[in-house]
Amino acid sequence: MHSLSACELHRRFIAGEVSAREIADTFLDRIRRLDPALGAYLEVFEESVVEQADRLDRKRQGKESLGLLAGVPIAIKDNINIKGEKTTCASKFLENFVAPFDATLIRRIREEDGIILGKTNLDEFAMGTTCENSSAHITRNPWNTNNVPGGSSGGSAATVAAEMASIAFGSDTGGSIRLPASFCGISSFKPTYGRISRYGLVAFGSSLDQIGPMAYRCEDLERIMQVVAVPCEKDSTSLPDPAFSPISFEKRFGDGFTVGVPWQFLEGLPNETRALFDRAVETLTSMGAKVVEVDLSILKYAVSTYYIICTAEASTNLARFDGIRYGVRSDRAQTLDEVYDLSREDGFGDEVKRRIMLGTFVLSSGYQDAYYRKAQKVRQLIINKFNEAFSKCDCIAFPTSLGGAFTFEEKKDPLSLYLEDLYTVGANLTGVPVMALPSGFLSDGRPLGFQLFGKQRHDAELLSIGRAFQEATDYHTKRPKGGDK
C-alpha cells in the first residue's frame, strides 16, 4: 500500500477497497520500522493519525462528501504551524513552542481530508544544505545512510523517498526542496512566489521563501496543488489567481514546445552529471521539444546575490527570537541585556549565528549601499535576463546540483556548501515556478535529478510537462533498497 501514488490511495479509499485506518496503520508501522535509522521525523502524531483515519471511515460510511486528499498520508516540515503541536524549526530556541494556530496550508489539507502524519526534520530555521544543522538529530539518505539527504527539507525528502508518507511539504528559500529531491530520487515543486500561502510558515527570507510539495509522481504534485494553491487573505504576498487546476499536456503542447538551455553556464559540470542532464534534454526532445540556447551567464552572480539578500532578511526575521516573547530563555541571564544575548547564544546553532551576523553586517550603516542595495539591483538584472530567456522558450532546463548526495564527512566548509545552491537560487531570486524531477542514477547508484524552470504563474503548464516527462521515463518508479524492498 505504501508504494501506491497518493492519487491511487485516494481512489481506493473512495471506492471502499481500503479503509483509512488500514492506510494509517500501514504508514505508522513503516515509520516505526524505518525511521529510527533515517531520522526523517521529529514527531509522529500517532494518536491523532488514528483519530483522523477513524473520522474519515465514519464519513465514508455515512456517505458524506469526501475531499480531494481523503486517505492520503502527508508529512509536514517543522517550520510550518500546526495548532496545538510544537513548531521547533529544529532549534533549541523553539523546543518548547506550541503553535497557537494552523498555517493556511494545514487548514486546506484538513478541509480536504488529508491525514497529517507528523513533523519532519530540517536544518535549523531552514538554514543548511545537508540536514545536519538540526538541534535534534541528523537525517540520513534512504538510498545510502552514509550520505546526506540534502537540505534544508531533508526530513521531508527522506520521508517520501522511504515511502513513510505519500506527500511531504517543505519550504524552499534557495533550493531547499529541490536539492533534497534530487539527492533522494523524488520529485518536488516550488510554485510561483505567492501561489501557496506563507501564512503560518516561520520566515527565513521573506522575499524568497515558498512552501512546496514533494512526492514521487507529478500527478500527486498536481493533486496537492489543487488543494493548497488558493488565494489567502492572511498573506499579503498571496497571489489573487484562481485556484490551481491541472491542464492537459497534449492540449497545451501537442504541437510542440520550446526548452531553453544555458549551455555556457553548464561548462565545468562533472562528466556523469552532464551526461544525465543531456539525456534528460534528449527525452524532452523526444516529447516534441525544440531546444534553444538561452543566455543566463548572469547567474554567476546569483549565489553571492542570494546570500546577501537571504542573510539580510534572516537577520531581520530572527530578531524576534529574543528570549522575551517566546522560546527558550537562558537561565544564565542576570540582566535584561544578558537575556537577549545569552538566550540567542544558547538557543541558536552555529549556521544560524553565521547567517545572522552576515545579514546584520550587510545591513549595517556604511555597508548597506555597498552590499544589500547592490545585491537588489543585481537581482533585478537576473529577473530581466530570465524574462528575456522566457521570450524564446516555454521552460528552461537546469541541473539541480553539481553531483549526487555526498557523505556527511565530505563537505564541512560553509562556502563549499553554499556553492551547492549554484543552480537553484535563480528561481527564488526571480520568483518563477520550478520543479525537480528524477533523471537517472550515477555509476555508484546515487540518484540525480534535474530542474525545469517555468514562466511566472504558468505553474500548471510546467507540471504538465513534468507529468509527460515521467510518462516517457521510469526513474520515478525506482525505490531505495531496504524496508520491504
Helix (H) or strand (E) holding 429: helix 425-430
Q: What is the rounded CA–CA span in Å between residue 115 and residue 48?
A: 9
b/e code 316-345 from CB counts within 10 Å (16+ = b): bbbeebbbeeebbbbeebeeeeebbbbbbe
Helix (H) or strand (E) holding 105: helix 104-111
pLDDT > 90: percent of the chain: 98
Other beta carbons within 10 Å of 422: 20
Q: Could you identify the residue written with the cell 550587510?
A: 362
Q: What is the rounded CA–CA span in Å between residue 238 and residue 240?
A: 6
Q: What is the rounded CA–CA span in Å between residue 219 and residue 181?
A: 16
In a domain, 163, yes or no: yes
Q: What is the rounded CA–CA span in Å between residue 150 and residue 143?
A: 12
| Catalytic site residue from 5, 77, 343, 464 | 77
- Total number of domains constituting the chain: 1
Q: DSSP assignment of 9-69, as one string?
A: HHHHHHTTSS-HHHHHHHHHHHHHHHHHHH--EEEE-HHHHHHHHHHHHHHHHTT----TT
Residue 365 designated active-site: no
User: Given this model, what pLDDT does residue 326 score?
Assistant: 85
Which amino acid, 347? Answer: G
* Cis-peptide, bond into residue 152, ω within 30° of zero: yes
The whole domain housing 102 covers 6-253+434-477
H helices of 128-259, in order, are 154-161, 178-184, 218-228, 249-253
All 3 cell numbers of residue 382?
A: 537576473
In a domain, 193, yes or no: yes
**Is there a contact between 419 and 155 (Cβ–Cβ < 8 Å)?**
no
Q: What is the rounded CA–CA span in Å between residue 51 and residue 309?
A: 43
Of 430, 439, 370, the residue nearest 403 (C-alpha)? 439
User: Given this model, what pLDDT does residue 484 score?
Assistant: 55
User: Given this model, what pLDDT does residue 383 score?
Assistant: 98
Helix (H) or strand (E) holding 77: strand 73-77
Q: What is the rounded CA–CA span in Å between residue 160 and residue 150?
A: 13
Q: What is the rounded CA–CA span in Å between residue 43 and residue 99?
A: 14
Q: What is the pLDDT of residues 277-316, one digit of tens each?
A: 999 999 999 999 999 999 999 999 999 999 999 999 999 9
Which amino acid, 187? Answer: S
In a domain, 138, yes or no: yes
CA angle, 121 as apex, 176 and 136 as ends, to 5°? 130
User: Given this model, what pLDDT does residue 90 score?
Assistant: 98
In a domain, 48, yes or no: yes
Q: Could you identify the residue written with the cell 545512510?
A: 145
Q: Could you identify the residue written with the cell 508504494?
A: 3
User: Given this model, what pLDDT does residue 485 score?
Assistant: 43
Q: Could you identify the residue written with the cell 506563507?
A: 198
In a domain, 85, yes or no: yes
| Catalytic site residue from 134, 176, 188, 464 | 176
| Sheet bearing 41-44, strands edge to edge | 41-44, 115-120, 73-77, 167-172, 210-215, 187-190, 434-441, 447-454, 395-399, 257-261, 289-293
DSSP state of 421: G
Residue 77 designated active-site: yes
Residue 478 designated active-site: no
Q: Could you identify the residue written with the cell 524549526?
A: 89
Q: Write out the chain's pLDDT in tens, 485 residues.
A: 999 999 999 999 999 999 999 999 999 999 999 999 999 999 999 999 999 999 999 999 999 999 999 999 999 999 999 999 999 999 999 999 999 999 999 999 999 999 999 999 999 999 999 999 999 999 999 999 999 999 999 999 999 999 999 999 999 999 999 999 999 999 999 999 999 999 999 999 999 999 999 999 999 999 999 999 999 999 999 999 999 999 999 999 999 999 999 999 999 899 999 999 999 999 999 999 999 999 999 999 999 999 999 999 999 999 999 999 888 999 999 999 999 999 999 999 999 999 999 999 999 999 999 999 999 999 999 999 999 999 999 999 999 999 999 999 999 999 999 999 999 999 999 999 999 999 999 999 999 999 999 999 999 999 999 999 999 999 999 999 864 54
Q: In whole angstroms, what separates CA 267 from the centre of its chain?
A: 27
CATH number of the domain enclosing 129: 3.90.1300.10
Name, in order, each residue with C-beta under 8 angstroms of 249's C-beta and a sequence gap of 6 or more. 464, 465, 467, 468
| Catalytic site residue from 152, 197, 238, 343 | 152
| Antiparallel, parallel or unpaired: β 395-399 and 41-44 | unpaired
In a domain, 428, yes or no: no
Q: What is the rounded CA–CA span in Å between residue 64 and residue 317?
A: 43
CA angle, 225 as apex, 243 and 437 as ends, to 5°? 140
H helices of 266-421, in order, are 271-286, 302-317, 336-347, 350-363, 374-390, 414-418
In a domain, 463, yes or no: yes
In a domain, 311, yes or no: no
Helix (H) or strand (E) holding 210: strand 210-215
3-state SS class at 257: strand
Q: What is the pLDDT of residues 163-211, one digit of tens each?
A: 999 999 999 999 999 999 999 999 999 999 999 999 999 999 999 999 9
All 3 cell numbers of residue 459?
A: 505553474
Q: Could you identify the residue written with the cell 483522523?
A: 52
